[in-house]
Chain A
């Protein structure tokens, strides 16, 4: 069984400030890790993923996340946020063998203020 914890339900931040959205997971098997973003009135979109290899993964719009196996974390960071980054962010895990279902955290609402 797997579980994902996103401790912060809301993160308010000013435009151009750095941000970190925290994600911790628990699993009895090795996992793949994902961050999804949900903009208002839109479906979930994959932001970035960790499958194997380098523990630091990046998205095309400046977000990055680092897989830390010892701390079972996959925190999402951006050095300078924009108003357009306002959205709900979901961390998710999936077993790397067998079961293909994603297990999601409860989400973090990033609110970027001018």
Chain B
């Protein structure tokens, strides 16, 4: 079956541009997570959805970061006015239920801000 997919796989943005990163979770998965992975570091939590409700956004680094999941399936992470420190791999993960332990990760989107 299909896993978590993310698009685009690579994105180059000039500083100040807005970007939108897409995540297609595994069909039927209730929970969806976004993580940011800087070069040489482990992933860091950004935000969590249960269906369409954003239940935890404590990891979003600034108000330039915004995520949505309007129909409880596909999610979009938007970064406004990108800065060089936003350069990272953005990972999406989904899990089956609200209390499921295992998170299934997508391949990530590598964002480079020049």
Please, how many angstroms separate the alpha-carbon atoms of A32 and B102 in the complex? 11
Interface status of A45 (Cβ within 8 A of chain B) = yes
Interface status of B111 (Cβ within 8 A of chain A) = no
For window 81-97 of B, CB contacts with A under 8 Å fall at: 91, 93
Q: Which residues of A lie under 8 Å from residue B43 when comparing CB positions?
A: 44, 90, 102, 104
How many residue pairs link A and B with beta carbons under 8 A? The number is 57
Contact of A104 among B4, B42, B108 (CB under 8 A): B42
Q: Residues of B within 8 Å of A, CB-based: how many?
A: 25
Please, how many angstroms separate the alpha-carbon atoms of A100 and B33 in the complex? 9
Which partner residue on chain A sits nearest B100 by CB separation? Answer: A100
- CB pair A106–B41 under 8 Å, yes or no, is yes
Query: What class of interface size applies to chain A in its complex with B?
Result: 20 to 34
Interface of B, secondary structure class, is loop
Q: Which residues of B lie under 8 Å from residue A90 when comparing CB positions?
A: 42-43
Please, how many angstroms separate the alpha-carbon atoms of A45 and B33 in the complex? 15
Interface status of A62 (Cβ within 8 A of chain B) = no
Please, how many angstroms separate the alpha-carbon atoms of A90 and B44 in the complex? 12
- CB pair B105–A43 under 8 Å, yes or no, is yes
22 interchain pairs, CB-CB under 8 A: A32-B101, A36-B105, A41-B107, A43-B91, A44-B43, A44-B91, A46-B103, A46-B104, A90-B42, A92-B42, A99-B56, A100-B31, A100-B56, A100-B98, A101-B33, A101-B48, A101-B56, A102-B35, A102-B43, A104-B35, A106-B40, A106-B41
Binding site for A on B (CB under 8 A): 3-4, 31, 33, 35, 40-45, 48, 56, 59, 91, 93, 98, 101-108
